[in-house]
Amino acid sequence: MSPGILGKKIGMTQVFRPDGQVVPVTLLKAGPCMVVQRKTPATDGYDAVQLGLLEFVKPARINKPRTGHLKKANVEGAKFLREFRLDQCNAAGSADLKAGDQVLVSDFKTTDKVDVIGISKGRGFAGVVKRHHFRGGEGSHGSMFHRAPGSIGQSSFPSRVFPGTRMGGHMGNEQVTVRNLEIIDIDTEDNVLVVKGAVPGPNGGYVVVRRAKR
């Protein structure tokens, strides 16, 4: 049993439960994946498995060091690689994985809980109202304080701005983890995983699906 799987976000839709309840879901093209490298405490200092997502990738899109790394496990067309720590995972049988093994969506089952990791959509530069949900000032009656951050520090003491003060800046394009999403359905023929709720990132973005830790 694999500790997780790699995939791409397809998009969102909704499904109906047998009792008629509408459930918002996200479709994930999960796998097939191959075990590219098995790391052990004896050789690497920790226990982990490195997976590669098998997809159509031109050889020119993979650099020479990565190509040589993939050849050791007889894997081709794996541009997206990620590691899963086995010493922090409770998946039974994951210790038996070795280089060249295949990981499919059939390793999961419905009602399982998973954590999905992705890169959120980039929003560019954003002010404090959009980025940090500041209230802002009055919108009328001569006010000159609308969407400004307000005071960011004191003059006499400490005479500086504290690190971490919330300000405008680059919003999004960060790694986001959504925990404990329920698997609603699994399509083993098309390698599609249907999870309840939203998943970070745009449609077509890479995601990491791991078994829930909490």
Spatial contact of 180 and 212, defined as CB atoms under 8 Å apart = yes
> What pLDDT score does 182 carry?
93
Find the helix or strand (DSSP H, E) in which 204 lies. Answer: none
Q: At 163, list the tokens.
A: 């690190």
When pLDDT is cut at 50, 70 and 90, the band that residue 123 belongs to is very high
124: helix, strand or coil: strand
Instruction: Please give the single-letter amino acid code of residue 134.
Output: F
When pLDDT is cut at 50, 70 and 90, the band that residue 94 belongs to is low
Q: Is the pTM of this model over 0.85?
A: no
Spatial contact of 34 and 15, defined as CB atoms under 8 Å apart = no
Question: Among all chains, which residue has been given the structure tokens 């590219």?
Answer: 36
Find the DSSP H helices in 74-189.
128-132
Tell me how many degrees the CA angle 110-114-118 measures, rounded to the nearest 5: 130
**Predicted confidence (pLDDT) at residue 56 exceeds the cutoff of 60:** yes
Chain segment 129-183, per-residue pLDDT in tens? 999 999 988 888 888 889 999 888 888 888 899 999 999 999 999 999 999 999 9
Spatial contact of 62 and 79, defined as CB atoms under 8 Å apart = yes
Domains of the chain: residue spans and CATH: 4-122+176-211 (2.40.30.10), 128-171 (no CATH)
For strands 4-16 and 206-211, give the pairing: antiparallel
